[in-house]
Chain A
């Protein structure tokens, strides 16, 4: 790998920063990177649940060595909401661990904003901007929707990039790897955020593989919102381990299908039909049993999604025997509180959590603690993850999730007994 004079100087220091840089070089050499590329910012994912004592010790070593981030470095959602510990039976040890990690991250110069939607609330990198982000959904969104450039930067990798201000130039940092090698023509009617997650799930399953890039061709006039693209990105990463897609005529590197594809060979081409959508989605009718738990998360909700839920929950109450959980980041939480949306949501009986994304909060333990089994969500990504935690998930539209889990309040404040009203 070619290193600049400045980079060779980092190695020559022989200190903790040199060790960090050497780790990055090894990863680059594995992937045949010819050089390092400067990155403008980094996004770190790690919490006490996922990295345990070894991760905490790793952070402690960096802190003790006096290292600090050289570029803005944010932190992803974490495993705990410190203000709702008891209601979710989260352990004090985990909370103490989280407090310790936040202190260490702060000492290292990392902003513990605890969000997986930083691209909606914190910073949007621009076309061609190289970054080092460590959450699969954020990576897919950055590459696809913003035209920024990043690989999955897992574990320590994004933190090291934050320290050195560089990352190895391989994968999605290079032009040739950003071209589409699969095409999906969308024929289904896309009416809800859940449908965009379904599209990501089906395309991800069909063309699974980190190196694969799908070009979506949408019907005329269909222009997905940022939230819709967020669900698409999260799902295609979750089901397909993929890090990039294009939407022809809409995303920055896909003015035309030819531009999206370049000279790259075609792995496959197909349709996302109404039948494909309906096969993926669950359904709900008022005679069905209510799910044990309904979760809006993965990714955290934007202010627009919070407002939509507040409107849908107004005049309704969560059914007895059902739990509704909503997660967002702190900045959205604070604004929701200030604008009164939070009170509408909590007034219905729903729980809203900040700093976390529910699947990071040990869902298997919650299933045991609360006796939950059936789960409804509008997040295709969450449905994919919770199967491994023993849940039986159903992906419903946002409105169906509300219908399945709430009843209408009548004028006196009493609860209507008619299901689904």
Chain B
């Protein structure tokens, strides 16, 4: 299963998907010390983001978010990659500084087809996200 992206930058990576149904705020959704989704009521509350390729339909939050990705990367609890439906310069600038591949333009239906736990690859050079192995609870 392959999905096209419209914008992407960074190196090609593979990893486990963490799929959020809601827009992402680096400042307010995360425990930046431990790399855990910490916002009360967030659908992924308690999930570790360490080493995950994180998918969310959009982004929110001010420019302070630009530092959060670098801070988590330096602590070794950062994302492996970021894929959004739509994004803004804040997240892109933050990801580039932290050395994390980032992409946008993932169609909204992909958020129903890609599940948390799927093993996926993100290739910014071809603008493709590929599901390599689907995780399904038996």
Contacts and interface: CB of A to CB of B under 8 A. Distances in A.
Interface of A: 23, 26-27, 29-32, 45-46, 50-55, 57-58, 134-136, 151-157, 171, 209-210, 237-238, 241, 388
Given A157-B89, A209-B86, A31 B7 contact: yes
Contacts of A26: 9-10, 96
A156 B61 CA distance: 16
A30 B8 contact: yes
A135 B32 CA distance: 21
8 contacts: A26-B9, A31-B7, A31-B89, A54-B74, A54-B75, A57-B74, A58-B97, A237-B62
A157 B89 CA distance: 9
Contacts of A155: 63, 65-67, 70, 90, 93-94, 97
B36 interface: no
B89 A27 contact: yes
Nearest to B78: A54
B56 interface: no
B64 interface: yes
Nearest first, the 10 closest Cβ-Cβ pairs linking A and B are A155-B66, A154-B66, A54-B74, A154-B63, A210-B88, A51-B67, A157-B93, A154-B90, A30-B9, A54-B71
A241 B59 contact: yes
A45 B64 contact: yes
B3 interface: no
Nearest to A46: B67
A131 B8 CA distance: 25
Given A51-B67, A152-B89, 12 more contacts: A30-B96, A51-B71, A53-B74, A54-B67, A54-B73, A55-B70, A135-B63, A152-B90, A154-B63, A154-B65, A155-B66, A155-B90
B129 interface: no
B93 A388 contact: no
Contacts of A238: 62
A157 B67 CA distance: 10
Contacts of B70: 51, 54-55, 58, 155-156
Given A30-B92, A51-B70, A154-B94, A45 B86 contact: no
B28 interface: yes
Contacts of A135: 62-63
A55 B97 CA distance: 10
B88 A45 contact: no
Interface of B: 7-10, 27-28, 32, 39, 59-68, 70-71, 73-75, 86, 88-90, 92-94, 96-97, 102
A152 B10 CA distance: 21
A144 B115 CA distance: 41
Contacts of B61: 241
Contacts of B71: 51-55
Contact of B89 (A23, A46, A54, A153): A153
Given A30-B7, A155-B93, A241 B60 contact: yes
A27 B90 CA distance: 10
Contacts of B66: 154-157
A132 to B, nearest CB: 11
A23 B62 contact: no
A388 B32 CA distance: 15
Contacts of B74: 52-54, 57
A26 B11 CA distance: 11
Given A23-B97, A52-B32, A31 B67 contact: no
Contacts of B67: 46, 50-52, 54-55, 154-155
Nearest to A237: B62
Contacts of A51: 67, 70-71
Looking at B10, B59, B63, the one whose CB has the most chain A CB atoms below 10 A away is B63
A31 to B, nearest CB: 7
Nearest to B29: A388
A154 B93 contact: yes
* Residue in B61, B65, B97 with the greatest tally of chain A CB atoms within 10 Å: B97
Nearest to B33: A52
Given A54-B70, A57-B74, A155-B63, A27 B93 contact: yes
Contacts of B39: 388
A50 B94 CA distance: 13
A30 B102 contact: yes
Contacts of A57: 74
A154 B65 CA distance: 8
A153 B63 contact: yes
Contact of A156 (B64, B97, B102): B97
Given A30-B8, A54-B75, A45 B63 contact: yes
A151 to B, nearest CB: 5
